[in-house]
Every structure is written in C-alpha cells, then in structure tokens.
Chains A and B, each alone.
Chain A
C-alpha cells in the first residue's frame, strides 16, 4: 500500500510514542503574532521556561497593528500598544526573530512565512493562529494551535498528537474563467459543511489544484480550518520549488531526491475522498453567518437557521446578486497577495466605486506585496476607484475594537469569516473572491465579477 504525503511527514517527525497513546511529533518552526503569541511568551517567562531553539521561532506584528500610513506602536484598539511592546520585549529576551511593525519584511504571518522561505515542503510548522493551514500549500504540515500548545512546541520542540485521519479532496477538470481558488473552497464548504473536514488532514489534489499558482493554492488551503479540518496540504511540485528557491530562509535550490519524494503515491489510500467537478463551480458569495452558508452569486438564499436570516437580514428566496452593500474590504490572509490585488485592480481600473459605498479598503498582506503593487501602479488604480490604500496587516478582517465599518454596514469582503460580529458588532459580512469584492463595490450591490471583466487586449 502506498503512502500519502501526510504519512511521510508524520513518519519523519515521529519522535516517540507517549504512554497515553499519543505521538510526540517534532516541530520544525513556530511562528507567533502579537495577539496570541505574547500570551505564550509571557507565560513561559513567568514559569521560568526557555525556548529550546530560538533560531526556529519567528514572530510578527500583524493582528492589531495599525494599518494607516505613518503608523507606529499605537493602535486604534484601546490597550493595543501593550501587546506590541510586550511582544517586542519578549522576543528580544528570548532571542526570537521578529518582523517588527515597520520592518520591510512585515506582513500577515501566513503571507510572509512563504515570502521569507520560512515554510518549506515536508516541514512541520505551527502558529497560535487558525489560518496557519494556509502554508500547507507548500507541502508542509502547518496548522493552528492555542497559546499553551505554542509554549509546548517552543519548550520541548514537539507536540503531543493523536494521528489524524486523511481526506483527499480532488478537483477534477479546469475552472471556468472568472472562477478562483476562493470559489473552489467556498463551494466545498457549502456542500460538505463547516465541520465537514473534522478530524482530518485534507490533501487538495486534481487538475484544477495543480493549475493554481502558489498564491491560489494558499487561498485554497487557508480555508481548510473553515472546513473544520486540522489542516490542508498540497503535494509540492515545480511551481512550489520555483517559488521558494533562494528566499531568505530557504535552500538555494530543491534539487535532490528528498524533495521530490514528498508526494502521495498513486495507490495511497485516504480515509475519505471527495471528488468535485471544478468546471461546474461559479463565483461564490456567502449569504449567512457561517462559511457553509455560501451560494453561487446568481443564486437565491436558501432556507437556513432562523438566526442566520435574522442577523444577515435576508429572507429565504431572496436574490443575492443586487443586494446593496455599504462597504468593501480587500485583504486578510486569504486574499491579500499581489495576484489578488492585480485581479481586483484589473476590474477597478478606470472605474469608480458606487457613491453608496461608505468605506472601501485595500490592505496588502505584506509590505513586500504593497511595494510590488506600488511598482506596478496598482495603488493609484485603487485610489482612483475610491479605495483607501493601507499598510499591511490583518486590519478589518476582524474587529479588534478600534477601527470599524459604519454602524449597520453590509460588507463585501475577501476575508475568510462571516461570523456574527466578526467585522464589528452588527456588521453583516459577505465573503467572496477579490474580483467579486471589486465588482460589487463598483455596482454598490453584490455583483457577478464575470460581468465586469474586460476582454484581454493582445500584447
């Protein structure tokens, strides 16, 4: 019987069995951020515990750092500055590499980890952040943990784990034009539920996955946690190695049999398999308060839990397209990378968002993505269209209690969560791809991005 990529990573990292029946799994990298990482470092210091290998622990300021130009340590969140200064001091004391507020390498943890080559195929990487699964796009076992487990990983170099089950989600055939990785994962969660992947490591496979660039693969894996999975994973290929080669913490090249053996054998068995026809997927938009409550943009709102209808203010049978929106957000660890910004800008170029849009933001996922976008003139496109252009960070992906959308706003958002209050008390969030956000901002209402794509002009 063949082995899966997950099997290979697990077996490489199995240190010992514990008397209680779990396995001690070696952890190659830990990545912290100021919102939950400071709690882990603070507690360790309190108990006199030390980081076993600080050279393999990284930290960044991304969650509550201000994203307005000219930022410093101050945040709009009352008391937020304490998280930043405490994290900085704790990292210094522990000897941990920190990407500080205005370090050129700063950005959202899951965006900058690949940019710096900190995540590599075949590694185990954890962070006290649920979207760490994003980095599974590089063929690493990367998953979110709590602060206590982060302490455990830093002090012992391991985590105690029960072996998860495996699932393969295979996207056959090719995506239709205007359909993206975000739509793929939303359609999976809509069909199989927000808990559909529970207890599993999900390997994404198939023609439509192989066709994605690395940034699309990150978007796909990013939402494995919204599927209830421990993490998502994609077998590394030439695109993976080409993306990482020569980056700051990565090898110069990935020649050698080790890297190319990081695969799932053809006869490998998974505990569960789901097959999806990618060509049948349409641009998706959430209608409710769970990522599983998502439908094709041209669809009508189905009957869901009463509470979801009440919160979002849409009755069963209502058309989603044409629903007026008050605000638009492009950002988050799901869709804030350079390719996301390019695709959204292509729709916005030479156009202006609807006058009814009261707040529209673009928050690049990293300062590197921001610099690249500015070199390409995308910032000017966004600003001319009526979007604010920000410094990088998590920003209004969630509401930390500082900056907010106007009271009662309905927001079209490239983020990963549409929970009640996620973007602020009473704020109604519709999650979608960056192009759907751009198109909806132009229309002032939820819109099908395919209606806004221009004909390609031959070079």
Chain B
C-alpha cells in the first residue's frame, strides 16, 4: 500500500449507520488465510450479499448500486469500526479501494489500524456527513479539508498520523530511528523492574 493519494476525489458512498462493527466489515468466516489479501470480496458480506455463499448481491446495499461502484470514500455514522481488533477490516476496505472514511467517530483500535494502512479516518459532525454522503467530495490531507459543492469542512488529525499517511511511512522504521533511546530505557528498566525480565528473575 502506498501513501495517501493527494488529493483524493471520489463519490462518498453512504452507509450512514452508527456502531458499524468489524464483524460486519469482514466476518470471521471470510478471513480464510493468515495473510492480508483476498479479503475485498468478503467486505461487508452480511449486508452486501443476500446469500454470502453464492455471493448474490443485495441490490439495496449502497456498494452494489451502480453510482457508487468506484467509490474510494465511505461515509458512516458514530463509533465506526467498533468490536474486534481484526486489522482485516481495514485490509478488506483498502483492497476494495476505500482510502478514506468520513464518520462521526471511530473506535480507537480501528482508527489506529487505518493509519498504519494509509486509510484516512476523518471525524466530522453528523450534519456535515449527511451533507457530504452520496456526493463527489475531495480530500486535501495537507490542508486538512474536505471539499464539496455542499461546502468545505476542516478536520483534525494528529501531526504524526498525518506525516505517516502523507509520506507512506512505516511506523516500525520510524521507531527504529530511536533505537538507542529504547536501549537506554531498557537498560535502566532492567534494574528498576527486574520482574519484567525473565532472565533477571530466574
């Protein structure tokens, strides 16, 4: 997965429900290997198909409607991504092509998983989301703005997440630049809290 595409312009597919959980985004039964791929087909399986086995599409579900076929942005309600910590939920969304989610709020583990997979979680007021849903919108990460012909909205994102998304940075590589600080801390901690380290307490 590459850095966040700038600017991202797409129709925002509306799935305006609260508490959309990660079991619904990708059911456990759709996680068929230990890898991160092969998940797009199972995205929203309980809502997308009238029969998950034969993959019969439910014509009423937004992802199946022709006008939203190539959507790269999702519009949802409060507490999006609650439930299981399975990162497969973000992997499935990203593999399907979703690169940003506009919602009233996000569950914390899901939000963290988004950042690490370069999917942008944007929290906005409910009225703003309702106005944006179903429209073509443009997201400017640098300016932290969502723009559409229904109006513009500024969003908040912490500087570190913004940098990781914009530059496609790997968090592990970033942290390893501070390896000496970690070494120093650990050396001190081994004497302060020996019970944490098995060798020291054996």
Contact = CB atoms under 8 A, between A and B. Distances in A.
A157 interface: yes
Interface in A358-384: none
A352 to B, nearest CB: 33
B105 A79 contact: no
Contacts of A318: none
Given A15-B185, A156-B172, A24 B178 contact: yes
Interface string A33-62: 001101100110000010001011000000
B37 to A, nearest CB: 11
B43 interface: no
Contact of B17 (A155, A225, A307): A307
A79 B30 CA distance: 11
Interface in B153-200: 158-161, 163-164, 171-172, 174-176, 178-179, 181-182, 185-186, 189, 193, 195-199
B5 interface: no
B201 A419 contact: no
B56 interface: no
Given A20-B163, A21-B158, A400-B28, A56 B196 contact: yes
B57 interface: no
A146 interface: yes
Contacts of A198: 79, 105, 107-108
B116 to A, nearest CB: 4
Contact of A56 (B21, B160, B198): B198
B9 interface: no
A87 B197 CA distance: 24
A146 B181 contact: no
A35 B27 CA distance: 12
Contacts of A317: none
Contacts of B163: 20
A146 B113 contact: yes
A421 B45 CA distance: 11
A160 to B, nearest CB: 6
A87 B34 CA distance: 9
B34 A82 contact: yes
B28 A35 contact: yes
A156 B79 contact: no
Query: Chain B: interface residue count, which band?
Result: 35 or more
Given A149-B116, A195-B78, A39 B23 contact: no
B69 interface: no
Contact of A228 (B108, B117, B164): B108
A144 interface: yes
Given A149-B112, A152-B172, A36 B195 contact: no
A49 B18 contact: no
Interface stretch (B58-66, B80-88, B126-134, B137-145): B80-88
Nearest to B31: A35
A45 to B, nearest CB: 11
B108 A158 contact: no
Query: Chain A: interface residue count, which band?
Result: 35 or more
Contacts of B90: 146
Contacts of B84: 129-130, 398
B28 A398 contact: yes
A146 B112 contact: yes
Nearest to A200: B108
Contact of A21 (B46, B159, B193, B198): B159
A307 B48 CA distance: 15
Interface in B30-71: 31-36, 46, 52
B95 to A, nearest CB: 14
Contact of B34 (A39, A146, A195, A419): A39
Nearest to A199: B108
Contact of A146 (B109, B164, B186): B109
B35 A39 contact: yes
A421 B52 CA distance: 12
Nearest to A144: B85
Given A26-B185, A198-B105, 19 more contacts: A15-B185, A16-B178, A18-B175, A18-B178, A36-B87, A39-B87, A42-B35, A144-B85, A146-B112, A146-B113, A149-B113, A156-B172, A160-B160, A195-B78, A195-B79, A195-B82, A305-B17, A417-B23, A419-B23
8 contacts: A16-B185, A20-B160, A20-B164, A26-B182, A49-B172, A290-B19, A305-B17, A401-B28
The 3 closest A-B pairs by CB, nearest first: A20-B160, A401-B29, A146-B87
Interface of A: 12, 15-16, 18, 20-22, 24, 26, 28, 35-36, 38-39, 42-43, 49, 53, 55-56, 64, 77-79, 82-83, 86-87, 120, 122-123, 128-130, 144-149, 151-152, 155-158, 160, 162, 193-195, 198-199, 225-226, 228-230, 249-251, 258, 289-290, 292, 305, 307, 398-401, 417, 419-422, 425
